[in-house]
Chains A and B, each alone.
Chain A
Amino acid sequence: KAGVTQTPRYLIKTRGQQVTLSCSPISGHRSVSWYQQTPGQGLQFLFEYFSETQRNKGNFPGRFSGRQFSNSRSEMNVSTLELGDSALYLCASKLTGGAEYGYTFGSGTRLTVV
């Protein structure tokens, strides 16, 4: 059974550009969440999608957005990149229910903004 797949693994972008990250959840998982991981702030929740609807959003500026497709695959987009957006972006999926049912995480996309 394939795990959560994130592409690409690494990205280098220039300030001001935009970027799109992709996440394919475990087959049958309909909930997809995104987290940002940095040495200073640790793991922070970005947003969660279920059945193509955003159900919850973290405290990030509007430059961070996402969407989910009918096959549960998800993308997140960051526009007008800033140096501080450099981070490991993690995607996680789960079957249904609340977070208490446990998430499976992907390996992440490491974004470097120069």
Chain B
Amino acid sequence: AQRVTQPEKLLSVFKGAPVELKCNYSYSGSPELFWYVQYSRQRLQLLLRHISRESIKGFTADLNKGETSFHLKKPFAQEEDSAMYYCALSGRGAQKLVFGQGTRLTINP
């Protein structure tokens, strides 16, 4: 079964502090992992995907197949990072995304 678990519903950190949003997955094959973000009153948008190994807005995420995790990290949080973050999984060639429940990140000034 495909499953994505984001253990923290809410996460609050101070500006300038490091941020880590946790994501664990369950998938029998080779998964494709993504992070999507939804800022207040904006549409859901792709933040990054593991296949491209990129850093977007200072965020990075490493796929750890041994721990079946894809945690999102940023060394220094900024107030504009406050948003809802969703981890998502897809099987290669599959036509759907399986989302975690999301983590609401709040950056305090």
Interface set of A (CB-CB < 8 Å, partner B) = 3, 31, 33, 35, 42-45, 48, 50, 55-56, 58, 90, 97-100, 102-108
Contacts and interface: CB of A to CB of B under 8 A. Distances in A.
B25 interface: no
B57 interface: no
Contacts of A106: 43
B34 interface: yes
A45 B98 CA distance: 7
A45 B92 contact: no
B97 A103 contact: yes
A42 B95 contact: no
Nearest to A55: B95
B94 A56 contact: yes
Contacts of B55: none
A103 B44 CA distance: 10
A107 B100 CA distance: 19
A12 B34 CA distance: 33
B53 to A, nearest CB: 13
Nearest to A56: B95
A98 B97 contact: no
B101 A42 contact: yes
Interface string B52-63: 000000000000
Given A99-B32, A99-B90, A100-B90, A105 B95 contact: no
B96 A58 contact: yes
Contact of B51 (A100, A103, A108): A100
B10 to A, nearest CB: 14
B46 interface: yes
